[in-house]
Amino acid sequence: MAGSTSWSDPFPDMFSPRGYYPAAIYAEVGKERRIYVCGGFNQVPLDTCDYLDIDAKKWKYVPNILTSPRSLTAGVLLPDGVSFLICGGLNGSHD
């Protein structure tokens, strides 16, 4: 709001705080506009994936997307507009 001196978050917090996740990926699925957040780091690499339903302003959990915890990855939305690829990154192992 113009002239406001306070910050207002337009969306709720994610289920679990994280950093070092791939660029949030935008997709339109049916009538939902989504921003996906997968993997990342919160004390350890994460194997969870959530998406924000932009219009409902709610985070939703996506089951079984990552096969192992990943942080510092890259992500790209594929040409079909709903699938995305996550690759690279670290899993916390030095092997």
The average pLDDT across 86-94 equals: 81
- Write down the pTM of the prediction: 0.75
At 6, is the pLDDT very low, low, confident or very high (cuts 50, 70, 90)? low
pLDDT of residue 5: 65
**Beta pairing partners, 28:** 33
State yes or no: pLDDT of 95 exceeds 60: no
Q: How far apart are CA 59 and CA 57, in angstroms?
A: 7
The average pLDDT across 23-48 equals: 83
CA angle, 59 then 64 then 70, to 5°: 85
At 59, is the pLDDT very low, low, confident or very high (cuts 50, 70, 90)? very high
State yes or no: pLDDT of 92 exceeds 90: no
